[in-house]
Structure 1
Amino acid sequence: MNPVDLTRIPTADPLRAYRYRDGLYAADLVTAALVHLDFFTWLAANPSSVTGICTHFDFAERPVDVMMTLFVANGFVRRNGDVFHIADSGLEYLVADSPWSLAPYYRSLKDRPVTMDYLKVLKTGKPANWGAYDEGFDWHRSMEDESFARQFTAAMDCRGVLLGPAMAKALDLSRFSRLLDIGGGSGIYACSLVANHPGLSATVFDQASVEKIARTRVEELGFPDRVDVRAGDMLTQPLPEGYDLHLYSNVLHDWDVPEVRQLLAASFAALKPGGMLIIHDAIIGPEKDGPLPVAEYSAMLMHSTQGKCYSVNEYEALLSEAGFRGFTFQTTAADRGVMTAGKP
């Protein structure tokens, strides 16, 4: 394998390769709604809000929010305020009594494991087993196991070799000196930022099962003098102090609103005054009508984690509640983007 240059971004378009993986479970969510629930037929007769859908089907709010965002992004459903209505494409192709209904076409997929998982996730709000394995834990429990943590961290590291430099090049960090990369995994994002911003040093803060992996990877990337690693639990321990820059890169999407609220409040408490928070993630647009690839990726997160892809407006509301001000957002690479917020 050639050495990694974290100051360089590849020239070829990565979107097709990324989108096959990120959107893998979206078809199963459509199948569950269409074949098992006849959801679109019901919605055509009963325009409804997320709350109304949850009440009628006895579903949990988080998975319904993700499902409806996916359906709006596809044009199957349209949103009018808080109320969802069937759109023309949904009426013609997804409603049972339409002569063009595709329900029979999808019916052959109805017993796929991930399709069946979605029926449980919609009911309980709890994630399914990672990868829809018959035996095992959801992603959060699995990460406590060192062998799983190694495998998963390696998978996220290979993604970060592209996403990290793209994020780093989108940001002006010239006035900052110390970065805390919270839930930083292998350290690929911390290393990407210090590689592109010479005045920056960093600490990767993650759970004990990842610590050795991160130390090894930081050394391989050539930054042991500028990036250190510290083990800790971001949800049960105060965040380390003395940093003027915090990063959550592909972290918050793994958690539900209470945990995101907790993490943002912890960052606000620990961050130096005048410091900045960075959220690097796949982020839904302010109207929650796309982008479609992000809505599809959110379906995967809803299946296997406690989280989802949050919208720009959802992040701004949570950041404001924590005390942050001065928000920015820009897209980076492979359907990802970066938000910043300042601590006054």
Structure 2
Amino acid sequence: MEQLAAWTPADLLQLSGGYWNTCALHAGVKLDVFTPLQDRAANSEELADLLRADRRGLAMLLNALAAMGLLKKDGERYATTLFAAEFLSRTSPKYLGHIIMHHHHLMDGWSRLDEAVISGKAIQERVVHADDAQVRENFLMGMFNLAMQLAPKIVPEIDLSSRQRLLDLGGGPGTYAIQFCLHNPELTAVVYDLPSTRPFAEKTIQRFNLADRVIFNDGDFITKGIEGTFDVAWLSHVLHGESPEACAVILKKAVAALEPGGIILIQEFILEDSKAGPVFPALFSLNMLLFTSGGQAYSQSELYSMLTDAGARDVQRLPLSLPNGAGVMMGFVTEH
């Protein structure tokens, strides 16, 4: 179990007011103050005119972002730091603004956590199903942001050199299918997800010039079957959005789509068996309470049981060091 530092009143108050920093960052990303300041420094009046913002209000925000170390201030002129230029400018290939805006869209729900705890029901619909195209884009491309941080660490550690056909179930924009195929030249992949995901997936696949090896197939894989057969299945952060009963259905369908000798791999934020840690999966479970009808973070023993019940054998957790309590479980399919 994680060893947590002893609390002090100052720590408690810092935590309680920590959303001030969060909201300043979200406002900076939403207003896109970082992109124009990447190319040239500007004063608050110039930037306010460009962004059509109030001069006084924007100056306060810029000063706060400078105090946080995300902007530099020289006299009355502001510019992005090297870090902000790399991760907060929309022109950067490492832009993380989509996932930051996804976090922003969750804030209203989190402010009503007490209601969800009392009722045991979600506060609002899952963001992935949202009607607002911008909200949906921020979610899907935010998943791309996160996956691009982790995939280069995970993919080289999983030997798929003898595999030919990958199922990326619930793969969103296809980030992992793309990275696995880039690392394994003989591999092809099918990304399975909802129809609303198709434009983002196909755009991302084309961006990596893999349209001849990675295809998108839309469908509800919980209520319907999975077309085709595969020798490896990858499910990244799919199960936490579903109830244990739905997870059982998903895993049985995934295993059924695998040939004998196939591998099933699932990535999740994994709780300790006590469920009292690590911190991020425990908090993430509350996120699922807020935005899904039955989702939650699962413990390693629960994931082990789910995989074995679905027909996987020799289930194990791979020895990967990943942030936020993330982990990858692997099992083999010997027969159906």
1:117 corresponds, among 112, 115, 118, to 112
For residues 273 and 262 of structure 1, the distance between their equivalents in structure 2, rounded to whole angstroms, comes to: 19
User: Partner letter of residue 190 of structure 1?
Assistant: A
Contact 2:222 2:250 in 1 (8 A): yes
Contact 2:165 2:232 in 1 (8 A): yes
Q: Give the 3-state SS of the residue equivalent to 2:151 in structure 1.
A: helix
Contact 1:73 1:289 in 2 (8 A): no
2:312 is aligned with 1:324: yes
2:302 is aligned with 1:314: yes
In the other structure, the counterpart of 2:290 is: 303
2:184 is aligned with 1:197: yes
For residues 174 and 115 of structure 2, the distance between their equivalents in structure 1, rounded to whole angstroms, comes to: 34
Write the deviation string for residues 259-313 of structure 1: whole angstroms up to 9, x where unpaired. Answer: 1111011112221111111101211133433222332333323322341221110
Q: Using structure 1 for the length normalisation, give the TM-score.
A: 0.63
2:206 is aligned with 1:216: no
Write the deviation string for residues 73-107 of structure 1: whole angstroms up to 9, x where unpaired. Answer: 6879xxxxxxxxxxxx89xx9xxxxxx9x999999
2:181 is aligned with 1:181: no
1:167 corresponds, among 154, 158, 161, to 154
For residues 13 and 203 of structure 2, the distance between their equivalents in structure 1, rounded to whole angstroms, comes to: 51
In the other structure, the counterpart of 1:339 is: 329
For residues 211 and 189 of structure 2, the distance between their equivalents in structure 1, rounded to whole angstroms, comes to: 10
In 2 relative to 1, CA 198–149 (structure 1 residues): closer, same or farther, beyond 3 Å? same
2:278 corresponds, among 284, 288, 291, to 291
Cα offset, 1:324, TM superposition: 1.1
In 2 relative to 1, CA 158–116 (structure 1 residues): closer, same or farther, beyond 3 Å? closer
Contact 2:231 2:263 in 1 (8 A): yes
Q: Give the 3-state SS of the residue equivalent to 2:166 in structure 1.
A: strand
Aligned pairs (5 A) from 1:63-102:
none
In the other structure, the counterpart of 1:229 is: 216
In 2 relative to 1, CA 221–332 (structure 1 residues): closer, same or farther, beyond 3 Å? farther
For residues 175 and 219 of structure 2, the distance between their equivalents in structure 1, rounded to whole angstroms, comes to: 18
For residues 168 and 288 of structure 1, the distance between their equivalents in structure 2, rounded to whole angstroms, comes to: 28
User: Partner letter of residue 159 of structure 1?
Assistant: L
Write the deviation string for residues 32-78 of structure 1: whole angstroms up to 9, x where unpaired. Answer: xxxxxxxxxxxxxxxxxxxxxxxxxxxxxxxxxxxxxxxx86879xx
Calculate percent identity across the aligned residue pairs: 26
Q: Using structure 2 for the length normalisation, give the TM-score.
A: 0.64
* RMSD of aligned alpha carbons: 2.9
For residues 120 and 220 of structure 1, the distance between their equivalents in structure 2, rounded to whole angstroms, comes to: 42
Q: Give the 3-state SS of the residue equivalent to 2:215 in structure 1.
A: strand
Q: Give the 3-state SS of the residue equivalent to 2:153 in structure 1.
A: helix
Q: Give the 3-state SS of the residue equivalent to 2:271 in structure 1.
A: coil
Higher relative contact order (CA 8 A, sep 6+): 1
Query: Which one has the bigger strand percentage?
Result: 2
User: Partner letter of residue 203 of structure 1?
Assistant: V
For residues 332 and 178 of structure 2, the distance between their equivalents in structure 1, rounded to whole angstroms, comes to: 22
For residues 207 and 213 of structure 1, the distance between their equivalents in structure 2, rounded to whole angstroms, comes to: 11
Contact 2:317 2:328 in 1 (8 A): yes
Larger Rg: 2
Contact 1:146 1:209 in 2 (8 A): no
User: Partner letter of residue 327 of structure 2?
Assistant: G
For residues 127 and 245 of structure 2, the distance between their equivalents in structure 1, rounded to whole angstroms, comes to: 18
Contact 1:190 1:227 in 2 (8 A): yes
**How many residue pairs are counted as aligned between the two chains?**
242
Following TM superposition, the consecutive aligned residue runs of length 4 or more in structure 1 with deviations greater than 3 angstroms are 72-76, 102-109, 112-116, 144-148
